[in-house]
Chains A and B, each alone.
Chain A
Amino acid sequence: MVVGAESENLLSRAGRTLTHMKALEAESIHIIREVAAEFEKPVLLYSIGKDSSVLLRLAQKAFFPGKIPFPLLHIDTTYEYPEMIQFRDEYSARIGADLRVGLNDAAVAAGANPYALGTQKCCGLLRTRALVETLAKGGYDAALGGARRDEEKSRAKERVYSFRDAQGQWDPKNQRPELWNLFNGRIDKGESIRVFPLSNWTELDVWLYIHLDQIPIVPLYFAKERPVVLRGETVIPYVDGVKLLPGEAPVMVKCRMRSLGCTPCSGAIRSEADTLPGIIEELIAFRRSERENRVIDHDEEGSMETKKREGYF
Chain B
Amino acid sequence: MPAVEAGFTIEEFLKRAEERDLLRFSTAGSVDDGKSTLIGRLLYETKGAFEDQIASIKNSKYSRAASGPFDFALLTDGLKAEREQGITIDVAYRFFQTATRKFIIADTPGHEQYTRNMATGASTADLAIILIDARLGVLPQSRRHATISALLGIPHIVVAVNKMDLREWSEEAFRAIEAEFRPFLASLGITAPHFIPISALYGDNIVTRGEQSGWYTGKTLLETLESVPVGRDRTADPFRLPVQIVLRPNQDFRGFAGQIASGTIRRGDPVMVLPSGRTSRVKSIVTYDGNLDEAFAPMSVTIELEDHVDVSRGEMLVGAAAPPHVARTVEARLVWMDEEPLEEGKEYLIKHTTQMARARVVRIAGRLDVVAGRESAAVSLRLNDIGTVVLEANRPLLFDAYRRNRSTGSFVLIDPIRNGTSGAGMIEEPRQTARQRDRTALRDHHVSPVTQAERFVRNGHVPATVVVQGKPDLAMRLERALFELGALVFVRAEPSGDLLAAGALVILCPRQAGAFCVDVPGVKSVEIDPAVLPADPDEAVEAMIARLEHDGVLLKHVSFEPGEGI
Contact = CB atoms under 8 A, between A and B. Distances in A.
Interface string B1-28: 1111000001101100111111000000
A154 B160 CA distance: 27
A186 B419 contact: yes
Contacts of A109: none
Nearest to B422: A177
B298 A27 contact: yes
A182 B411 contact: yes
Given A16-B264, A63-B249, 5 more contacts: A17-B230, A18-B298, A63-B257, A156-B78, A156-B92
A296 B558 CA distance: 63
B117 interface: yes
B401 interface: no
B254 to A, nearest CB: 11
Contacts of A33: 244-245, 257-258, 300
Contacts of A23: 21-22, 298
Interface in B220-237: 230, 233, 235-236
B419 A26 contact: no
Contact of A20 (B22, B93, B420, B421): B22
Contact of B93 (A149, A175, A280): A149
A231 interface: no
A65 interface: yes
A20 B101 contact: yes
Contacts of B233: 14-17
A182 B335 CA distance: 15
B18 to A, nearest CB: 6
B443 interface: no
B500 to A, nearest CB: 20
A78 interface: no
Interface string A294-309: 0000000010010000
B482 to A, nearest CB: 10
A292 interface: no
B300 A10 contact: no
B460 A1 contact: yes
A60 B288 contact: yes
A66 B81 contact: no
A182 B14 contact: no
A61 B414 contact: no
Contacts of A184: 351, 412, 414, 419-421
B504 interface: no
Given A1-B460, A3-B556, A30-B244, A20 B21 contact: yes
Given A177-B424, A180-B407, A156 B4 contact: no
Contacts of B321: 3, 6
Nearest to B559: A2
A280 B414 contact: no
Interface in B345-390: 349, 351-352, 354
Contacts, number: 229
Nearest to A16: B235
A22 B297 CA distance: 11
B299 A284 contact: no
B292 to A, nearest CB: 12
A181 B411 CA distance: 10
B455 interface: no
Nearest to A200: B104
Contacts of A149: 93-95
Interface in A198-239: 199-200, 202, 204-205, 208, 211-212
30 contacts: A3-B549, A13-B296, A16-B233, A17-B21, A17-B230, A17-B233, A18-B21, A18-B298, A19-B19, A19-B20, A19-B21, A20-B21, A20-B102, A21-B20, A26-B300, A27-B259, A30-B300, A34-B244, A61-B289, A61-B300, A65-B253, A177-B119, A179-B421, A182-B352, A182-B410, A182-B412, A186-B349, A202-B102, A204-B17, A205-B102
A184 to B, nearest CB: 5
A179 B78 contact: no
Please name the 5 residue pairs, one residue from A and one from B, whose CB atoms are nearest each other, closest first. Answer: A285-B2, A66-B249, A14-B236, A153-B78, A20-B22
Contact of A281 (B2, B104, B249, B264): B2
Interface of B: 1-4, 10-11, 13-14, 17-22, 47, 50-51, 53, 76-81, 83, 89-95, 97, 101-102, 104, 116-117, 119-120, 123-124, 230, 233, 235-236, 244-245, 247-249, 253, 255, 257-259, 263-264, 286-289, 294, 296, 298-300, 302, 313, 321, 337, 349, 351-352, 354, 406-407, 410-412, 414, 419-421, 424, 460, 485-486, 549, 554-558
B299 A26 contact: yes
B90 A157 contact: yes
A65 to B, nearest CB: 5
A302 B50 CA distance: 27
Contact of A37 (B17, B76, B296, B313): B313
B248 A66 contact: yes
Interface in A158-207: 172-173, 175-182, 184, 186-188, 199-200, 202, 204-205
B115 to A, nearest CB: 10
A153 B485 CA distance: 63
A85 interface: no
Contacts of B236: 10-11, 13-15
Contact of A208 (B14, B296, B354): B14
B95 A202 contact: yes
Contacts of A154: 78-80
A6 to B, nearest CB: 5
A179 B125 CA distance: 10
B249 A157 contact: no
Nearest to B19: A19
A255 interface: no
A212 B10 CA distance: 14
A26 B259 contact: yes
